Structure 1
Amino acid sequence: MSASREFFAALPVAEALAGFRPQRRTGVESVLRDDALGRVPTSAVTSGQPLPGFARSTVDGYAVRAADTYGAGDGLPAYLDVLGRVRMGSMPELSVRPGAALQIPTGAAIPDGADAVVMVEYTQVTMAGAVEVTRPVAIGDGIVRADEDVAAGGALAPAGRPLRPQDLGLLAAAGVTELKVRARPRVAIVSTGDEVVPSDTQRLAAGQVRDATASALSALVTRAGGVPDYRGIVPDDQEALTTTLTEAVAEADLVVVSAGSSVGARDETTAAVEALGDASVFCHGLAIKPGKPTLLAEVAGVPVLGLPGNPLSALVVFRMVGLPVLRLVGGIEVPPPEPTVPATLSRPLASAAGRLDVVQVTLRDGQATPIFGHSALLSLLTTADGYVVVPEPATGLDAGAVVTVTLYA
């Protein structure tokens, strides 16, 4: 971690994410498989046995010796004796001998002697106890090997990737009932400002605003797999903020200070962080719009993120910077992909080189229309279907340009 940087010596976002690597990681706990959706395995989960564990049919048809079907066709079918039927849920009692077959349903175990399954669509029953095969099969056709899904000792789920519904299905198939995962990151959310009042305040005095940002941040934290820990509203007072941050750092895995990083409050926020023991400020200023006055710091290994005061800026920065830090702390090495769609811009976008611009857009019939307004307006986010990023090197995008829209779920 580097020493304090000059405020608004704006750091590129990519450089900040690459360089800001807090030491904090959440602890390890055991969870039941059915409670593990979205949890992050601490190490690869492996199978103690091959899956499916036995060779089985992938189609309805007849278990055969492939050699008995060679040369079969509509004009000259192969005739095989039908010895019986394979039952589901048990190993076959009969085996397949040369010139014979066993009727078999999808998923049933392959009998001894058989090395392929011919689909029922390529057979005809013309007399009792026999079947005509009108298509040849190769060895292995219509069969899943005993270890084709997962080999014994093979990985069921990798470390560092949140478990998905399909992962839980594979764990269930392997008989895994419990596993070690990272604890959910606890995120302390601190709101600051003399003008900020609780969100349940019914009547506002002149100059007051309800704490809307904290509710949205809590929802983002929850969706990302964290546990929000709202610490209330702190007035614009360095000593009070230092006290609150001291308590938050001692108990949380990530501390987010909302509305304490605007131009008017930057000195108090930075001073409050630096007043804590073992603290360092990585940067105070990101090359991003909206969200330039952003603070990244570390206190005793715990990351501290100071967000801009305006709600839209705060939420944009938390998506772009806060969520990657949250995932890092929570042990996520393979972040889940965000939903995106290509679209064409309905109008040109101006930008400044060296700055990452995050532009809210609506999406209709494959066309992205930018929406603009003051960063204090939350309605811009609720109206938007997603956002477009104008990269740092660009000086803008032309109307009709093909862009990637990251969708809001």
Structure 2
Amino acid sequence: MSSREFFTARTVAEALAGFRPARRTKAESVPSAAALHRVPAEDVLAPAPLPGFARATVDGFAVRAADTYGASDGLPSYLDLLGAVRMGAAPEVAVRPGGCAAVPTGGALPEGADAVVMVEFTAETLPGCVEVTRPVAPGAGLVRADEDAAAGTVLAPAGRPLRAPDLGLLAAAGVTTVGVHARPRVAVLSTGDEVVPPDTADLAPGQVRDATASALAALVTEAGGEPVQAGIVSDESGALRERLTDALVDADLVVISAGSSVGARDETAGAVAAVGSVWCHGLAIKPGKPTLLAECGGVPVLGLPGNPLSALVVFRLVGVPLVWRLAGCETPPPEPGRRARLARGLASAAGRLDVVQVRLVDGTAEPVLGPSALLSVLTRADGYVVVPEPATGLDAGAEVEVVLYR
């Protein structure tokens, strides 16, 4: 691949829209209580109506709504107290015309009643007699037997990560296991003769510990994937191709850290092209232009820049959505964000997406600047601001959306 091909860069939007491998992880059954953020492989349906019986949503009295029409403070309605509903038990009382029954929040609606009057709008002025000072319409103060979900309706749709309320709804329906996509296995390969494991106690001149792989593994985990540390590959010709071939056997995604630029020692493009097809080599993004996207035997491959900051920025924007897509989620959950005003202007180049790290101080976004080789730029940032491709910069004081780091 020539350097001319490298500099014909795709935009990030083109990469997200156009690079869409068909691979999806298989389905597996997991306990619903342990399925937070997992992606259902198919719609989860309600086996029966929810909540299953009409129930009160307020403390008060179950009534026939017609018996309260016209009631007011000056001219209340008087109803006979026929009994009370016990929590967790079927009502032993029925409401007839002119009568009512005491019912607690969550209690089952007795036969004959079609509304519940809040206790605040009642008074027991005489034994066995309830005074009602507010009219209610049919359905007031209660939920129907199938108001949460009718039998057969979708409780959790396929392709959307399960959230805490989803797990509560599944529990209410008695759904204790759910079929979800397996966590994508993401093999992380580091390259370079200068790169050594993090547990290397003493560094020789020119050596660096592999910091990027650990950070990438954390981002994979955060996206619901299962990181697999595939080790460090030397710059020796053919070594990366051999290790890549091995990684493709069990991985759903292979991430190659470093080796994707156009330097004489960079082997990624050649190794990938030898076993698969390169979709693009170069993204119109700063930092992170020397990025490679490819597919090898149905397994997507992401080649990242060598600088740690660049690699993590690209993986968050391109790699994280790819991990979610492999797990069956076409639209990844949005990152948290906050509006702020730029503390200083930002220059950019039209046609390139700029990702600028910022920290938030009293409602302003202060750019955190530094070389892309420094991880400390990211550790000092609270999030990032995107300067879109058409813009040539952002003015100081401009209102921006800060994408926050969790």
TM > 0.5 fold call? yes
The aligned runs of 1:2-401 (5 Å cut-off) are: 6-264=5-263, 267-276=266-275, 279-401=276-398
Question: How far off its partner does 1:334 sit?
Answer: 3.3
| Of 324-333 and 357-366, the range deviating more from structure 2 | 324-333
Give how far 1:8 is off.
Answer: 1.9
User: How far apart in 2 are the matches of 1:266 and 1:38?
Assistant: 40
> By how many angstroms is 1:36 displaced?
1.2
Q: Structure 2: 5+ residue runs without aligned partners? A: none
Change (3 A) 1:266 1:132: farther
Contact 1:5–1:281 under 8 Å retained in 2: no
What code does the residue aligned with 1:323 have?
Answer: V
Q: Distance in 2 between matches of 1:388 and 1:19?
A: 24
Give 1:267 shift. Answer: 4.9
Mapped contact 2:278–2:295 kept (Cα < 8 A): yes
Instruction: Give CA-to-partner distance per residue, 1:157-207, whole Å, 9 cap, x none.
Output: 010111111111100101111121111000000000011010111111111
Distance in 2 (CA, whole Å) between partners of 1:298 and 1:237 is: 23
TM-score of the superposition, structure 1-length normalised?
0.97
Q: Aligned partner of 2:183: which letter? A: R
CA 1:267/1:206 → structure 2, altered by over 3 Å: closer, same or farther?
closer
**The residue matched to 1:251 in structure 2 has which SS?**
coil
Work out the CA distance in 2 between the residues paired with 1:266 and 1:368: 39
Question: Quick one: distance in 2 between partners of 1:394 and 1:334?
Answer: 26
Cα gap change, 1:289/1:266 in structure 2, threshold over 3 Å: closer, same or farther?
A: farther
Q: TM (normalized to structure 2)? A: 0.98
Report the alpha carbon displacement of residue 250 of structure 1 after superposing the two structures with TM. Answer: 1.2
Which residue identity is paired with 1:399?
Answer: A
User: Aligned partners of 1:392, 1:117: CA distance in 2, in Å?
Assistant: 58
Runs of 4+ in structure 1 displaced over 4 angstroms? none
The amino acid that maps onto 1:167 is D
1:264 match: secondary structure:
coil
Contact 1:5 1:283 in 2 (8 A): no
Question: Residues 329, 335 of structure 1: CA spacing in aligned structure 2 closer, same or farther, 3 A cutoff?
Answer: same
- 1:5 Cα deviation after fit: 8.7
Q: Give secondary structure in 2 for the equivalent of 1:327.
A: helix
For residues 260 and 329 of structure 1, the distance between their equivalents in structure 2, rounded to whole angstroms, comes to: 24
Quickly say closer, same or farther: Cα 1:267–1:379, change in 2 above 3 A.
closer
Shift in Å, 1:264: 2.0
Instruction: Give the partner amino acid of 1:73.
Output: S
**Larger displacement relative to structure 2 (288-297 or 364-373):** 364-373
Distance 1:265 1:296, change over 3 A: farther
Given that residues 325 and 332 in structure 2 are in contact (C-alpha distance below 8 angstroms), is that contact kept between their aligned partners in structure 1? no
SS of corresponding position for 1:275: helix
Question: 8 Å contact 1:238–1:272 — kept in the other structure?
Answer: no
- 3-state SS of the aligned residue for 1:316? helix
Alpha-carbon shift at residue 118 of structure 1 (Å) = 0.2
**Cα pair 1:236 1:265 within 8 Å, conserved:** no
Taking the aligned partners of 2:7 and 2:27, their CA distance within structure 1 comes to: 38
What is the deviation of 1:25? 1.1
Deviation of 1:333 after TM superposition, in Å, equals 2.3
Q: How far apart are residue 266 of structure 1 and its match? A: 7.1
Secondary structure at 1:54 match in 2: coil
Q: Deviations over 1:294-336 (max 9, x none)?
A: 0000001100000000000000000001111111111112311
DSSP-derived class of the 2:248 partner: helix
Root mean square deviation, CA, Å: 1.2
Q: 2:29 & 2:16 partners in 1: Cα distance?
A: 30
**C-alpha contact (below 8 Å) 2:235/2:265 kept by paired residues:** no
State the distance in 1 between where 2:46 and 2:32 align: 14
Say whether the 8 Å CA contact 1:5–1:282 is kept in structure 2: no
Q: CA deviation at 1:23?
A: 2.1
Alpha-carbon distance change, 28 to 265 in structure 1, aligned in 2, over 3 angstroms: farther
Comparing 180-189 and 325-334, the one that deviates more = 325-334
Cα deviation for residue 360 of structure 1 reads 0.2
Please, which moves more after superposition, 56-65 or 16-25?
A: 16-25
> Residue type matched to 1:156 in 2?
L
* Preserved contact between residue 221 and residue 227 of structure 1 (Cα < 8 Å): yes
Once the two structures are aligned, what percentage of the paired residues are identical? 72
Distance (Å, rounded) in 1 between the aligned partners of 2:179 and 2:154: 15
Equivalent-residue separation in structure 2 for 1:30 and 1:334 (angstroms): 22
Residue 204 of structure 1 aligns to which amino acid in structure 2?
L
Contact 2:357 2:368 in 1 (8 A): yes
State how many pairs are aligned.
Answer: 404
Task: State how far apart, in whole Å, the 2-side matches of 1:316 and 1:8 are.
Answer: 19
- Report if the CA contact (8 A) 2:6-2:262 is conserved: no
Q: Which runs of 5+ in 1 are unaligned?
A: none
Tell me if structure 2 keeps the 8 A contact 1:28–1:42. Answer: yes
CA contact (8 A) 1:361 1:370 kept: yes
